[in-house]
Amino acid sequence: MTTPAAGDSYSARALWYVAEGKAELRSEPLSGPSHGEVLVRALYSAISRGTERLIMSGAVPRGEWDRMRAPLQAGAFPFPVKYGYCAAGIVEAGPDELRGRTVFVLHPHQDVFVVPIHMAVPVPDEVPARRATLAANMETALNALWDAGAGPADRIVVVGGGVVGVLAAYLAARLPGADVTLVDVLPERARIADRLGFRFALPDAAPREADVVLHTSATAPGLAAAIAAAGLEATVVELSWYGEGAVPAPLGGAFHSRRLRLVSSQVGQVAPSRRPRWSQRRRLEAALSLLHDPRLDALVSEEIELDDAPARLPEVLAPGAPGLAPVIRYPAVTLRA
């Protein structure tokens, strides 16, 4: 493979969602990087099950089409659209200080791509590329804890044992003296909870009187369980994204008498408590550094070869599909001048 240079031309392959339940690989021309850009050869990109399930099913609400755009998305909702925001790869061309470095980029699923230098965030040496694909989810979990105002010694309940829920519980459990429980309908989530250092409970055995509750399951029963777990004047933080669905919320009963607070959290903005001092770049760098723990490799449940992705995605994104964070693995050599 020759050293890429400005003006070189390549053929990149990218994953596109083209119709309800259907994806395909498309080739597209790619020019070498200009000044202020880098050429990245992808190693892995994570599939965001919740968001990409909505996209593949064509369920992104029309009113959210602009806000739901990924930073480097191509195409438009509902279809066809090139989507994704969890890529890790090697800088093949660019400034000397970045060439050869592993970087994280909020880029769709694509084997080779050119991006502005500021969008290629270096991955710490102790974080392998495969694990680095969790950065966007870690960023979401970190933002949610800021929105929740969780602190040391709090009793914290996380309802929903997907990737974001597990990462939120993982961060919460690192608060001194915090008592953290992950609640999920799948008993097998108990193994990862034990591995990462927090409790696990099925919904019927969920703790009560929590100081902070985070809800990530994107289901009405999950939201009801989250509200039921909250103590007097506690905060329930809603991280779920429901798309076009209307979700019943049990706001009768003790919701008002217990003076509960239901707060939304979304990663598009830095939490207000940090916004005066934290940029999105600083938050992403912090999320990458928080992935230094090898135990987090357990969250990356399976690898899918790029060539197999169109056929595999319908089952991977089906409701109730097993596993946590699937990733797309890219061929070892993808640059073709």
pLDDT per residue as tens digits for the range 255-294: 999 999 999 999 999 999 999 999 999 999 999 999 999 9
In a domain, 276, yes or no: no
pLDDT per residue as tens digits for the range 70-94: 999 999 999 999 999 999 999 999 9
Q: Is 79 exposed, middle or buried (CB count within 10 Å of its CB: 0-12, 13-18, 19+)?
A: middle
What pTM, to 2 d.p., does this model score? 0.93
Instruction: Write down the pLDDT at residue 164.
Output: 96
- Please check whether residues 95 and 160 belong to one and the same domain: no
- Please check whether residues 123 and 142 belong to one and the same domain: no
How does the average pLDDT of the chain come out, rounded? 94
In a domain, 294, yes or no: no
Helix (H) or strand (E) holding 140: helix 135-148
Task: Find tokens 């979401």 and name the residue.
Answer: 140
Those residues whose C-beta lies under 8 Å from the C-beta of residue 178, and which sit 6 or more positions away, are: 150, 152, 153, 154, 155, 156, 172
pLDDT per residue as tens digits for the range 291-313: 999 999 999 989 999 999 999 99
In a domain, 101, yes or no: yes
Rounded (10°) angle between helices 163-172 and 135-148? 50
| pLDDT exceeds cutoff 70 at 42 | yes
Instruction: CATH number of the domain at 13, please.
Output: 3.90.180.10
Dist. CA 168–CA 334, nearest whole Å: 35
Q: How many domains does the chain have?
A: 2
| pLDDT exceeds cutoff 50 at 1 | no
| C-beta of residue 146 within 8 angstroms of C-beta of residue 175 | no
Instruction: CATH number of the domain at 251, please.
Output: 3.40.50.720
In a domain, 292, yes or no: no
In a domain, 121, yes or no: yes
- Please check whether residues 128 and 148 belong to one and the same domain: no
- Please check whether residues 87 and 111 belong to one and the same domain: yes
Query: Of 264, 279, 310, which residue is a domain's last?
Result: 264
Q: Which domain holds residue 228?
A: 137-264
- Please check whether residues 164 and 193 belong to one and the same domain: yes
